[in-house]
């Protein structure tokens, strides 16, 4: 079964509790069914995160790889199993120290949208002390350059297992919805390293 997210759908990215050598995540639909399995490979100089149809890892949906080694403002190319790049995500390096901020590009390299943490003040407080992360979990908005609200990503309060909700609100003709799911998996992987 090929996973094709659509506007109006909701998903949850949930960290697998016990994962040997690298992080693993399940992607659930709004009915609680597993629609994808995400695996972050350990001990890589260049980040390598893969999304599969299930935990058997027999059918790959997409890959997320950095373009360079140990890049603070890394660009992650998102590609289908055929090798076709459907887009990329670039973290705004220094700006993301205060407030997570990403740029979303189409397959041709054209900037399509931003993915940004909701509030600078809350973002700073979350980084100062963990209690603020529990009181006010992270929330991200995906907004196109013409102001269209495409998706919302929101972490859920759970001290034991990281969970990130994804709600796709609108269709954008140039932005593949798989990029929004990839962004959720990428944020979950990075948050797992930082948190």
SS3 13: strand
- Of the candidates 114, 138, 116, 142, which has an alpha carbon nearest to the alpha carbon of residue 125? 138
Q: Which domains does the chain have, with CATH numbers?
A: 10-194 (2.40.160.200)
| Segment 132-151, tens digit of pLDDT | 666 667 889 999 999 999 99
pLDDT of residue 194: 47
Instruction: Report the pLDDT value the prediction gives residue 70, as an integer from 0 to 100.
Output: 67
* Residues whose CB is less than 8 angstroms from the CB of residue 157 and which lie 6 or more positions away in sequence, other chains included: 134, 137
Of the pLDDT bands very low, low, confident and very high (cuts 50, 70, 90), residue 113 is: very high
Q: pLDDT tens digits for 23-45?
A: 899 999 999 999 999 998 776 66
**Contact, 180 vs 7, CB < 8 A?**
no
Average of per-residue pLDDT across 57-77: 87
Predicted local distance difference test score (pLDDT) of residue 21: 67
What does the pLDDT read at residue 116?
Answer: 92
Distance CA 106, CA 113 (A): 9
Q: Of 4-18, 115-129, 173-187, which one has max mean pLDDT? A: 173-187
Q: What is the pLDDT of residue 122?
A: 62
Instruction: Using CB atoms within 10 Å of the CB of residue 105, give its burial: 0 to 12 exposed, 13 to 18 middle, 19+ buried.
Output: buried
122: which 2 tokens?
């809350």
Q: What are the residues whose beta carbons fall under 8 Å from the beta carbon of 85, sequence distance 6 or more? A: 77, 78, 79, 107
The residue ranking higher by pLDDT, 22 or 81, is 81
Q: Are 136 and 126 in contact (CB under 8 A)?
A: yes
18/1: higher pLDDT: 18
Distance CA 190, CA 192 (A): 5
Is the pLDDT at 195 greater than 50? The verdict is: no
């Amino acid at each position: 079964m090929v996973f094709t997210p659509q506007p109006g759908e909701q998903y949850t990215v949930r960290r697998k509790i016990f994962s040997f050598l690298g992080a693993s995540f399940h992607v659930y639909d709004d009915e609680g069914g597993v629609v994808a399995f995400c695996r972050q490979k350990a001990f890589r100089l260049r980040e390598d995160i893969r999304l599969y149809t299930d935990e058997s890892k027999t059918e790959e949906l997409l890959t997320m790889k950095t373009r360079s080694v140990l890049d603070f403002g890394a660009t992650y190319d998102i590609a289908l199993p055929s090798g076709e790049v459907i887009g990329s995500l670039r973290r705004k390096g220094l700006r993301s120290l205060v407030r997570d901020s990403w740029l979303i590009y189409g397959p041709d390299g054209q900037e399509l949208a931003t993915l940004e943490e909701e509030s600078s003040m809350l973002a700073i407080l979350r980084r100062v002390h963990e209690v603020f992360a529990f009181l006010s979990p992270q929330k991200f908005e995906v907004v196109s350059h013409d102001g269209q609200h495409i998706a919302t990503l929101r972490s859920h309060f759970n001290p034991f297992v990281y969970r990130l909700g994804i709600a796709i609100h609108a269709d954008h003709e140039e932005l593949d919805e798989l990029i929004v799911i990839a962004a959720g998996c990428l944020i979950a992987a990075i948050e797992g390293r930082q948190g």
